[in-house]
């Protein structure tokens, strides 16, 4: 229904919103259309992010070995359209220029990942000197833009996958902790924010249930292009090992490095916000169940000391159990929690899925996903605008998990690659979600920072180069992989300089190379 102009005008006067456009924005998105950088706490950080495989390229250069993402990208999965990260956007050779762009944009922090297979090509043992030199130089040049480092971003060394099955084996825990130890020792004097795993819940689901991301393990009828794996049990097993590896790594950092380095360590999950499709009791319970399976699967052990009861009940003997000592070490094993958030999913109760004998984690959830779009968004080409979902998600974490320190590690809008530098939908999206974040802070959320995904257009995990999230466009047809600032880069730079959020867009001195 379209609200009349006269009604909008009256409401703008009643609510004290001084701009007619602002009231329309408020009613469509639920957040007021004006704020500045200084409305956020001074210690709050704004940044942007990428990951190693998605930007670096140089996959077999200077001693790097292959990762499971390399193998997966070359396996012929149709959603990559024959593309891969062999060259990606040549970040391995263009990192100095990219750091200059960060300075131009005014980034306060930058989130990136270290390639395990570049630093320790055999997965354990000897350090690759050239890999060490690369990351040392990168971090040294980056230091003005607070480094936030992820240790594992879907890219376990392939050699460990071949040797013992990677994360389906408990052996992965020991090797990961040893790798993390090297990173803390070599880089911890300059890196104060560490994340063990990116989207740990999605890595387990997409990599071992759907087969939609590395290492592409799944079983019929649940996954896509399944040739190996077991969708009914492996996601739970992998998640279990990720939690054990995370807790052991945090324990190592706290005991060996924290006193000297004064850093912080946490883990990252993807947080959809689940809304009931209808207001029925069944759908409301379904939304809570979906939150338990997606967020609670990892956050409940970390905060409360075990998996959610509904997850244990529905998964039965397919989900491993923790020993008493393991639970003691997992509970509280974080200094912060990282959340990636993009949009809302609507769910409807689906009790019939529990009546099948063979179930995966999605069937255990007993929900059916429903999609709703508003305002003409072309989903899935773009995410539907639902900024209140971020506010609700942060409030949920505050209420359910004791208001832990939170970083929004990823938030952004996708658009088809090669469209235009005038990415107005992305500007609208970022402005709305940052406004919702401000509302959440004012309501008591303990959120410490926000990172746009992504700083540059890059090789996306679920679409290759088909679409991009970047503040900067990368010309893939140019052998120099030239970077160009989009409207969103100028908007974000303008915001970080302390100017008013959405308009006017004041173009900064961001370089056009």
Q: What is the pLDDT of residue 33?
A: 62
Q: Coil, strand or helix: which one is 330?
A: helix
pLDDT tens digits for range 166-210: 999 999 999 999 999 999 999 999 999 999 999 999 999 999 999
Question: 56, 199, 428, 460: which is the annotated catalytic residue?
Answer: 199
Residue range 74-124, pLDDT digits in tens: 999 999 999 999 999 999 999 999 999 999 999 999 999 999 999 999 999
* Residue range 266-282: mean pLDDT, rounded: 97
The verdict on whether 97 is a catalytic residue reads no
- Is it the case that residue 375 has pLDDT exceeding 80? no
Q: How does pLDDT run across 216-234, given as a tens digit for each residue?
A: 999 989 887 788 999 999 9
Q: Nearest Cα to 242, choosing from 153, 123, 115?
A: 153
Catalytic residue of the set 56, 108, 234, 410: 410
The pLDDT of 132-142, averaged and rounded, is 99
297's tokens:
């699967």
pLDDT recorded at residue 306? 97
Mean pLDDT (the chain) is: 90
Annotated catalytic residue 199: yes
Residues comprising the chain, all counted: 513
- Is residue 9 pLDDT above 60, yes or no? no
Predicted local distance difference test score (pLDDT) of residue 82: 94
Residue 419 has which token pair?
């469209």
* Beta bridge pairs of residue 146: 109
Average pLDDT over residues 229-241: 98
Classify each residue of 105-119 as buried b or exposed e, where b means 16 or more C-beta atoms within 10 Å of its C-beta. bbbbbbbbbbbbbbb
Q: Give the pLDDT confidence score for residue 384 in this predicted structure.
A: 87
Q: Rounded to an integer, what distance in angstroms lies between the CA atom of residue 432 and that of residue 498?
A: 17
58/46 Cα distance (integer angstroms): 29
What per-residue confidence (pLDDT) applies to 294? 96
Instruction: Give the pLDDT score at 506.
Output: 38
Residue 379 has pLDDT above 90, yes or no: no
What was the pLDDT predicted at 226?
Answer: 85
According to the model, what pLDDT value does residue 27 have?
34
Q: What is the pLDDT of residue 371?
A: 66
Q: CA-CA distances (angstroms) from residue 289 to 128, 234, 286, 312?
A: 45, 20, 5, 12
| Buried b / exposed e along 60-93 (16+ C-beta atoms within 10 A) | eeebbbbbbbbebbeeebeebeebbbebbbbbbe
pLDDT digits over 28-61, tens only? 445 546 899 999 999 999 999 999 999 999 999 9
Distance CA 401, CA 446 (A): 11
Cβ neighbours of residue 113 closer than 8 Å, sequence gap 6 or more? 50, 51, 52, 149, 150, 151, 152, 153, 155, 198
Percent of the chain beyond pLDDT 90? 84
């Amino acid at each position: 229904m379209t609200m009349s102009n006269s009604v909008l005008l009256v409401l703008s006067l009643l609510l004290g919103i001084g701009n007619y456009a602002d009231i329309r924005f408020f009613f469509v998105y639920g957040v007021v259309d004006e704020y500045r950088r200084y409305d956020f706490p001074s210690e709050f950080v704004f940044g942007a992010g990428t990951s190693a495989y998605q930007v670096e390229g140089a996959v077999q250069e200077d001693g790097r070995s292959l990762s499971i993402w390399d193998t997966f990208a070359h396996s012929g999965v149709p959603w990559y359209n024959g593309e891969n990260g062999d060259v990606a956007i040549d970040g391995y050779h263009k990192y100095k220029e990219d750091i200059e762009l960060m300075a131009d944009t005014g980034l306060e922090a930058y989130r990136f990942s270290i390639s395990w297979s570049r630093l320790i090509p055999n997965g354990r043992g000897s350090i690759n000197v050239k890999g060490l030199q690369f990351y040392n130089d990168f971090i040294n040049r980056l230091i003005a833009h607070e480094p936030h480092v992820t240790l594992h971003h879907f890219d376990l060394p392939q050699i460990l996958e071949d040797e013992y099955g990677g994360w389906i084996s408990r052996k992965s825990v020991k090797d990961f902790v040893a790798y993390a130890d090297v990173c803390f020792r070599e880089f911890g004097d300059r890196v104060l924010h560490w994340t063990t795993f990116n989207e740990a819940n999605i890595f387990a689901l997409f990599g071992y249930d759907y087969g939609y991301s590395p290492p592409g393990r799944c079983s019929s009828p649940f996954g896509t292009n399944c040739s190996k794996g077991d969708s009914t049990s492996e996601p739970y097993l992998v998640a279990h090992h990720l939690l054990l590896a995370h807790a052991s790594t945090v324990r190592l950092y706290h005991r060996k490095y924290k006193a000297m380095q004064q850093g912080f360590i946490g883990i990252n999950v993807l947080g959809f916000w689940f809304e009931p499709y209808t207001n029925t009791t069944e759908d409301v319970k379904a939304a809570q169940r979906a939150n338990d399976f997606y967020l609670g699967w990892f956050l409940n052990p970390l905060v409360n000391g075990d998996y959610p009861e509904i997850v244990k009940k529905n998964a039965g003997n397919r989900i491993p159990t923790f020993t008493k000592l393991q639970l003691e070490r997992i509970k509280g094993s974080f200094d912060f929690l990282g959340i990636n958030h993009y949009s809302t999913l609507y769910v409807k109760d689906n009790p019939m899925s529990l009546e099948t004998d063979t179930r995966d984690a999605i069937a255990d959830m007993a929900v059916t996903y429903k999609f709703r779009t508003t305002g003409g968004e072309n989903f899935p080409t773009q995410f539907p605008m639902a900024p209140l979902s971020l506010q609700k998600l942060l409030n949920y974490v505050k209420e359910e998990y004791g208001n832990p320190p939170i970083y929004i590690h990823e938030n952004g809008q996708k658009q088809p690659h090669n469209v235009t530098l005038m990415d107005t939908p992305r500007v609208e999206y970022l402005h709305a979600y940052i406004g919702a974040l401000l509302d959440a802070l004012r309501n008591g959320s303990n959120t410490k920072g926000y990172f746009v995904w992504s700083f540059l257009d890059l090789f996306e995990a679920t679409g290759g180069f088909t679409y991009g999230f970047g503040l900067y466009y990368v010309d893939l047809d140019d052998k120099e992989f030239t970077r160009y600032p989009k409207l969103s880069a100028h908007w974000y730079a303008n915001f970080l300089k302390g100017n008013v959020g959405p308009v006017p867009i004041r173009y900064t001195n961001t370089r056009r190379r």
